[in-house]
Amino acid sequence: MATNEARGHVTVVGSLNMDLVARAPRLPQPGETLAGHAFAQVAGGKGGNQAVAAARLGAQVTMLGCVGADPNGGQLRAGLEAEGIDCTAVEISATAPTGVALIIVDDGSQNAIVIIAGSNGQVTPDTLARHEAALAAAQVVVCQLETPPAAVHAALAAARRLGKTVILNPAPAVGPLPADWLPLIDYLIPNELEAATLTGLPVTSPEQAAAAAETLRRAGARNVIVTIGAQGVVAALGDIAPQHFEAPRVKAVDTTAAGDTFIGGLAAQLARGEQIADAIRFAQRAASISVTREGAQPSIPTRAEVGNA
């Protein structure tokens, strides 16, 4: 097991967005206009969020992605670099604007999100080929689905070929994953909605999450971890029966980056050589802190904060 001083290396392949966040009493209905409470512009994107989470939670991190040649892109790169994240594999598009996410958060701390891909859509297999050294340097490679599928598959395949631990957060999920992706993934980590989309099964309870995880494992995934919000996590690891990890009890303010914090924390722990069950519990503590704060990246805790939780 890694010592407390050891730092593993995580490379995140994924999206970089500027989040435009509005707070309102509730999520609007189609055609409805609501008066909101507040507005904020903060760094986001699942890739960026997971990179920041992994860095704050103890890993050496490289980000691989693409931003536009605009103020949003400059702010996102500067923000990552301020966290100590290596951005040499973050390309700058001359033709596409930086991606944005339009986020509404209601008084119950639930959110609805619309993403405009922008420069994230210019991450391609050629991008991965140009920056394979960023994958080779890591112990753990993390991907999501906010960049084009061909690029995600190229990242998964290259990471598998290089012998890395591969994490896929299948978000946003629009249907089952291609069958040839699953053998490339060490840890498939959907939330309850994504697990339902991937399997066609209802996922609203730990028991249903376990059934979905088993379905995905039978389809070829090595390990499946389904996050189910305040109900915790269900993990189907190897050949062991799915296990329920209860979530810490906290008062949620904003759940926007909870899943990204969990994945970044898990990746950081795995890169340090921690056992998976311990890594899950650590990542849960980190996520539980993030939901008590507003915003995406601003809500992500440090390793010291999680250690004191």
Residue 191 · residue 227 · CB < 8 Å: yes
Residues 56 and 279: their CA atoms lie apart, in Å, by: 15
* Environment class of 113 (CB within 10 Å of its CB; exposed 0-12, middle 13-18, buried 19+): middle
| 243-245 vs 233-237, strand pairing mode | antiparallel
260 is catalytic: yes
Residues 219 and 234: their CA atoms lie apart, in Å, by: 17
* Residue 99: strand pairing partners: 17
Rounded-to-10 torsion of CA 263, 85, 307, 210: 0
Active-site residue, selected from the candidate residues 19, 180, 260, 278? 260
CA atoms within 13 A on the CB side of 182: 16
Q: Which of these, 58, 64, 80, lies nearest to 270 by C-alpha position? A: 58
Residues 150 and 147: their CA atoms lie apart, in Å, by: 9
The string of DSSP codes covering 110-131 is -EEEEEE-GGGGG--HHHHHHT
Residue 255 · residue 268 · CB < 8 Å: no
Q: CA triplet 220, 164, 276: central angle to 5 degrees? A: 70
Encoded tokens for 269: 């722990």
Q: Which residue has the tokens 């090595």?
A: 222
- Residues with catalytic roles: 260
